Amino acid sequence: MKHFIGVDAGTSGIKVVVFNELGRVCGSGYHECSVITPKPGWVEQNPETLWDACNSAVKMAIASCGEKADVASISFSGQMQGCLLVDRNLQPIGNCIIWLDQRAVSEVDEIMSVISDDEALRLTSNHCLNSFWAPKLLWIKKNRPQDYERAYKVMFVKDYLRLRMTGEIATEVSDASLSFMLDVANRQWSWPVFSKLGIDRSLVPDTLSESYEVVGHLLKSVAEEWGISAGIPVVAGAGDQPAGGVGTGIIRPGVLGASLGTSGVVFGCTASPLIDPQNRAIMTMAHSAENMWCFLGLVLSAGGSFKWLRDTLFADKKAECLAQGTDIYDYMTSLAAKARPGCEGLTFLPYLNGEKTPVCDENARGVFFGLSFRHGINEICRSVMEGVTFAMRDSIEICREMGNSVTEIRATGGGAKSDLWLQMQADIYKANVVTMNVDEGPAAGAAILAAVGAKYFNSVEEGCNAWLKVTKSVEPNPAAARIYDEYYAGYRQLYPALKECFAHQAATISRQIERD
């Protein structure tokens, strides 16, 4: 039986899943990755660490199959917006500046002084964000000119891993959509942007493919180390959100995805580019499905907020749960379940490292609002879950506002593993929330793309129909939905009231750091 490998290169780690031709998981491996934060708002990862994690996870996944896997092809899901430079010897130049990084703020202002909002939407279908390639490259050009001059190509994380597997440099349209250098509507590089910004055209990969196309073949040296056949096709793959869209069957309009991982993402599919005239960090992309486009709204610290709570207030309990073989998150959600919906006004803003959709503010920070003597640890746990879900609803409301119907929301990530969080999402989103038979959405999407590239499936749609099924459906509780509507209205008032406070605090911190 043929097998297909999906490599999911996330921020916290790299997960590799082996699927057979029936869509069943035969093996998996995972290796954690650390992030580097040299300054406030700066977030990087070491490319060599990323490859080591990938290498380890692939070997683990293949070994866990129990028998020699007949691997037919490999593809990828990867964290998006990472800016990784390589020199002419294909060696990394410094660390990868990842999607969480906030340093290129002034470069966005420079870009928008040259390219108006209307022109940006016409040329790229997106407003410029500081996480995109263009502002990061301008930051490097200004602050690290020697690195910019040495640079041969700029790459996304998954494309660097593929380079290590094949020796070939390539990228594809879904990841490239969030570079601010792609004409998303026409699925080709937007050369006028390069000219206007003074970015060398030669920096981007010469090969720009669709997500399901073969862009290389596995090197003999890598294949021998992994114990699989050399020369098998390696498929372009996709950014983690479009790959997750494929892996959860979000390949038609009306069905949205709500992924609660380190970040939180609301993801939808459209028949033509969805362009938000307001700068609310709704990102528009070429989809990995044939002739489709997609969009996403991004909450920077979604599951990351719950992890922060775990590490801050439950460090001892985490160790205790580990020793007992229980899950600390199950314990935390059991506490949250004891609190009432809305937590009697305790509201959490999940802006621990700035925020994207819809406020697009690198200075925003986390807030507990409405704390009283009546609140305890139960309410604190629940308010974090609710605040993250309110932030996700912001993107869903933008989708509705722009005339897109929402018939179903497919939950993935940590938010799909908790019955409490599933019900909370249904109540806050005011929509049916479902889970799928495949837990590993991005890895499953990568494997489907691998199978399409290997000609096992004739199309992405055929692969989705063959492998994916809805397993659970949760309907909104009308009474809870009404309560959450009221508290959501209050939530929406907090950021505008605090925006200037966030800016003042950021300036104060910056001065303090300079003095130190």
Tell me if 444 sits within 8 A of 24, measured CB to CB: no
Mark whether 240 is an active-site residue.
yes
- Give CA separation, 117 vs 186, 285, 292, 360, in Å: 19, 17, 24, 15
* Whole-angstrom distance, CA of residue 61 vs CA of residue 191: 41
Tokens of 473: 């459906």
In our burial notation (b when 16+ CB lie closer than 10 A, e otherwise), range 136-146 reads: bbbbbbeeeee
Q: Which residue among 240, 276, 361, 394 is the active-site one? A: 240
Cα–Cα distance between 348 and 39 in angstroms, integer? 25
User: How many Å apart are CA 494 and CA 497, to the nearest integer?
Assistant: 5
Contact at 8 Å (CB) between 262 and 98? no
Cis peptide preceding 358, ω within 30 of 0:
yes
Nearest to 124 by CA among 111, 107, 142: 111
Q: Tell me how far apart the alpha carbons of residues 480 and 477 are, in angstroms, rounded to a whole number.
A: 5
Phi/psi class of residue 23: alpha, beta or left (left: φ > 0; alpha: ψ in -120 to 50)? left
Which helix (H) or strand (E) segment is 292 a member of?
A: none
Q: Where are the beta strands (DSSP E) in 322-445?
A: 347-349, 367-369, 408-413, 433-436
- Rounded-to-integer distance, Cα 497 and Cα 97, Å: 31
Catalytic residue set: 240
